[in-house]
């Protein structure tokens, strides 16, 4: 008796990894290069997914340069796109790693809104509002901040609704 083979559609997981200097120029280059890579992966410029990913890469790279900088060490950007199969939503994973691990940023459960008159402290609040999931991961040496976006198949410039996205208003009401 032979087993019946169920045809599986091919799935290509795309990965991009690059190190950048821990400078404002490195953070800016990471953002620009991420947009080019996403466009090559059929997530077009100016689409909702592309613009959301751009903001997340910008915030995480800026945090790596500002708070995670170790002289002589770079930060790393890793993008991974796992497309959805048969109309299911795919996942775009954005990771930024740096080598400073002695002070980890707060994770999603411990995020606090800064005072309204504060000059900074809103980067991870934006990531929390934009990403479908995110986490701070310890890595030796250093840390990685990972954000994930659920993305529908390509070429859409319309916003993608997501039931798990939280608005900054609901976060503020929850005292986060």
Structural domains of the chain in order of their starting residue, each with its CATH number: 14-173 (3.30.565.10)
Q: What is the pTM of this model?
A: 0.80
The predicted model gives 111-132 an average pLDDT of 88
Residues comprising the chain, all counted: 176
pLDDT tens profile 1-52: 677 777 666 668 899 999 999 999 999 999 999 999 999 998 999 999 999 9
Lowest mean pLDDT among 50-64, 96-110, 131-145: 96-110
Query: Among the residues of 23-173, which ranges form H helices?
Result: 24-40, 48-67, 123-130, 168-173
The CA distance from 149 to 131, in Å, is: 5
pLDDT tens profile 71-89: 878 999 999 999 877 666 7
Q: What is the side-by-side strand order in the sheet with 133-138?
A: 14-20, 75-82, 90-98, 143-151, 133-138
């Amino acid at each position: 008796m032979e087993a019946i083979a169920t045809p599986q559609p091919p799935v290509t997981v795309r990965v991009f990894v690059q190190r950048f200097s821990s400078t404002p120029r490195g953070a800016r280059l990471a953002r620009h290069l991420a947009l080019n890579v996403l466009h090559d992966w059929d997530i077009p410029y100016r689409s909702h997914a592309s613009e959301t990913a751009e903001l997340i890469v910008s915030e995480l790279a800026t945090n790596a340069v500002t708070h995670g900088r170790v002289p002589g060490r770079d930060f790393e950007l890793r993008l991974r796109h796992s497309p959805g199969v048969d109309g299911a939503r795919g996942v775009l994973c954005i990771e930024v790693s740096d080598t400073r691990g002695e002070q980890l940023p707060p994770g999603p459960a411990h995020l606090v809104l800064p005072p309204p008159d504060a000059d900074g402290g809103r980067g991870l609040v934006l990531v929390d509002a934009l990403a479908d999931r995110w986490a701070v991961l310890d890595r030796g040496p250093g840390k990685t901040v990972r954000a994930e976006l659920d993305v529908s198949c390509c070429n859409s410039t319309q916003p993608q609704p997501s039931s798990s996205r939280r608005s900054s208003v609901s976060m503020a009401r929850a005292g986060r």
